[in-house]
Amino acid sequence: LRYMGTLYGFVFLSHQIGGFLGVWLGGRLYDIYGDYTLVWWVGVGVGAFSAIVHLPVRERALNTVVPA
């Protein structure tokens, strides 16, 4: 919990950067190639990379104190 604010900030910042680059790059690739086939394959590749990066993440139960 100590780093939750920092981690959320990093996640949302990278999400916004990715959203901008995805739209911009998708438009550029459409202008260059005339269709969205390459854009879809880039999206599939990024999604697969994201899944592989998150494989080692292990969730653990957080012990909390419950008042009586």
Give the residue extent of every domain in the chain: 18-53
Distance CA 33, CA 27 (A): 10
Contact (Cβ atoms closer than 8 angstroms) between residue 42 and residue 29: yes
Assign residue 60 a region: left if phi > 0, alpha if psi is -120 to 50, beta otherwise? Answer: beta
Q: What is the pLDDT of residue 66?
A: 79
pTM value?
0.65
Mean pLDDT of 36-62: 90
Measured between alpha carbons, how far is 3 from 8 in angstroms, rounded to an integer? 9
Arithmetic mean of pLDDT over the chain: 90
